[in-house]
Structure 1
Amino acid sequence: MEFETKYIAPEIKLSEYNGKLFKTEVMFEHHLLVWFISGETKIIQAHTTNVFTAGDIFLIPGNQLATVINYPKNGLPHKAVAMHLTPEKLKEYYSKYKAAVRARPLQKVYRFSKHPLLESCLASLIPYFDLGRNLPPDIANIKIEEAISILRSIDQSVDGLLANFEEPGKIDLSEFMERHFMFNMPLDKFSYLTGRSLATFRRDFKKIYNTTPQKWLTEKRLQLAHYQIAQKQRKPNDVYIETGFENLSHFSFAFKKHFGYPPNAIPGQ
């Protein structure tokens, strides 16, 4: 089996992938704490790209668009423990412990690589994944609370993120789309993250760009891909994933239709 996922609870999972490459476009609905056991992951966000390998521990803020590309490495599968820090669990935690920081949360990936306390907490989960119904009562809640406490002891600024329960408010649509157009997400995700209903999103988009979101997104992605190939000397096979296309054949077809030549035949190259 190429892909296997085991759960202790809906919030805690162990995933293992043995294929050549697995790519997905996601909106991290919840904050996600990840301990990377083996393989490699590239997480591409609006203006930053993070690469994680074995031993890395990181916290990804919720309500973030990202392209995630997972690879096996050094003959080992892509394998990681992931803990979803849901609003319900966080509200339960902060009802007992006062937040130290109430500042505006930093929308960044927090790195805690090879931190002994966090690694010990997450590594201790491994034996539980094979127990099935024989799990100790409430073990998931205990482990989630332990992980939050350790995160706060390492970096108190994380309270600004974890103790913030506001829904995304209405924001500048143009600025958001210019930063996130390369993410191949449903329009309802874009509308939610800009604080709009889908109907309002479409109406506001039309006022700004005088075209449909689908047409604008395709053209922006193709322009970015052209720049990456022509100016950065990158190969089409490396570019199509990072610019929001599902597969190389669809990318090549759309590229030739838009520019009049295939991506591997850009004039002057």
Structure 2
Amino acid sequence: MEYQAKYITEDIKLSSYDDKFFKSDIMFDHHMLIWFISGETKIVQADATYFFKKGDIFLIPRNQLATIINYPKEGQPHKTVVMHLSTERLRHFYAKLNVKPKASELQKIYVFNSHPLLESCLASLVPYFEMQELPEDIASLKITEAVTILRTIEKGIDNLLANFEEPGKIDLADYMERNFMFNLPLEKFGYLTGRSLTTFKRDFSKAFNCTPQRWLTRKRLELAHYQFVEKKRKAIEVCYETGFENLSHFSYAFKKHFGYAPTELLNRLSSNN
């Protein structure tokens, strides 16, 4: 994978992937505002799937689980301008305002398509990536401009951006049943359910009478089998969207669990049609 990243500051970067595709399971520590220059992205969350292309602008809230697959398109690399809206910067921004965010609701990805105000703000960053160094105050002004635009065009965005609470303790079993397909360290799952790693493992054992890794593998393989049989999905798609990192490991685990490889199942399903 040919990956390049140019940073104006640690919060603003120009990201580029030149290979066939790049996949990652991510939990974002900061809100991320993204503008597409070229390429395509597929973002899979527990309850929604998004597709983004050249010109699109979207905001991913922090502490959200997602599988992200980036593709080059039409001979062009997957290239984006990424702005991290960190808690530190947002605290500084909102310190001057009398904003009381409402209780956090189910967070979603905010889609702005090619909104002219946001596009102008983010496109203006591109020339700065050719500079050796950018004064910190200019970067701060650009982030302030972006947040101000978001507050202008998206009603209720303060409930997201001005909410600095950390995840509280929630129902572990319900959360894991909805998010098992994301391949993250157990420490991250613990954090998102409001637990230390030790407490997470203890509560997990009580809830499922099984170790986390064994349960996660079984659930992911069962979901993969369902995707093959009921959704007629391709092996490469199912592999990456059910929490596996490569096709060979997925095929090995699938055959070990079910007694036949994904290719055997797909051939059987194809012959029955």
TM over 0.5: yes
Q: Secondary structure at the match of 1:127?
A: helix
Aligned equivalents of 2:13, 2:28: Cα separation in 1: 15
Q: What amino acid does structure 1 have at the position aligned with 2:54?
A: A
Q: What amino acid does structure 1 have at the position aligned with 2:181?
A: M
Q: Deviations over 1:23-73 (max 9, x none)?
A: 011101110000011100011111111110000000000001111100001
Aligned equivalents of 2:147, 2:190: Cα separation in 1: 30
Partner residue of 1:39?
39
Q: Secondary structure at the match of 1:156?
A: coil
Mark the runs of 5 or more structure 1 residues left unpaired by the alignment.
none
Partner residue of 1:93?
93
Residues 137 and 107 of structure 1, relative CA distance in 2, 3 Å threshold:
closer
Whether the 8 Å CA contact 1:152–1:159 is kept in 2: the answer is: yes
1:232 is displaced (CA, Å) by: 1.2
Partner residue of 2:132?
132
Aligned equivalents of 1:24, 1:97: Cα separation in 2: 36
1:96 is displaced (CA, Å) by: 1.6
Partner residue of 1:79?
79
Q: Secondary structure at the match of 1:23?
A: strand
Q: Secondary structure at the match of 1:96?
A: coil
Mark the runs of 5 or more structure 2 residues left unpaired by the alignment.
none
Whether the 8 Å CA contact 1:102–1:163 is kept in 2: the answer is: no
Q: What amino acid does structure 1 have at the position aligned with 2:82?
A: A
1:264 is displaced (CA, Å) by: 1.3
Q: Secondary structure at the match of 2:236?
A: helix
1:105 is displaced (CA, Å) by: 4.2
Whether the 8 Å CA contact 2:190–2:197 is kept in 1: the answer is: yes
1:156 is displaced (CA, Å) by: 2.7
Q: Deviations over 1:144-170 (max 9, x none)?
A: 000000000001311000000000000
Partner residue of 1:5?
5
Q: Secondary structure at the match of 1:42?
A: strand
Aligned equivalents of 2:225, 2:109: Cα separation in 1: 29
Partner residue of 2:69?
69
Partner residue of 1:184?
183
Aligned equivalents of 1:102, 1:83: Cα separation in 2: 25
Q: Secondary structure at the match of 2:217?
A: helix
Q: Secondary structure at the match of 1:157?
A: coil
Partner residue of 1:216?
215
Aligned equivalents of 1:42, 1:231: Cα separation in 2: 21
Q: Secondary structure at the match of 2:210?
A: coil
Aligned equivalents of 1:165, 1:60: Cα separation in 2: 15
Whether the 8 Å CA contact 1:41–1:70 is kept in 2: the answer is: yes
1:104 is displaced (CA, Å) by: 2.6
Partner residue of 2:109?
109
Partner residue of 1:226?
225
Aligned equivalents of 2:211, 2:36: Cα separation in 1: 40
Aligned equivalents of 1:137, 1:110: Cα separation in 2: 27
Q: Which moved more, 1:99-108 or 1:168-177?
A: 99-108
In the superposition, the TM-score normalised over structure 2's length comes to 0.95
1:130 is displaced (CA, Å) by: 1.2
Aligned equivalents of 2:131, 2:97: Cα separation in 1: 31
Aligned equivalents of 1:2, 1:29: Cα separation in 2: 24
Q: Deviations over 1:118-165 (max 9, x none)?
A: 0000000001111112x2451111000000000000013110000000
Whether the 8 Å CA contact 1:57–1:113 is kept in 2: the answer is: yes
Matched, 1:196 2:195: yes
Partner residue of 1:18?
18
Q: CA RMSD in A?
A: 1.3
Partner residue of 2:263?
264
Query: What stretches of structure 1 move > 6 A for 4+ residues in a row?
Result: none
Q: Secondary structure at the match of 2:156?
A: helix
Q: Deviations over 1:194-228 (max 9, x none)?
A: 00000000000000100000000000000000010
Q: How many residues align structurally? A: 268
Q: Which moved more, 1:92-101 or 1:206-215?
A: 92-101
1:83 is displaced (CA, Å) by: 0.5
Aligned equivalents of 2:48, 2:109: Cα separation in 1: 10
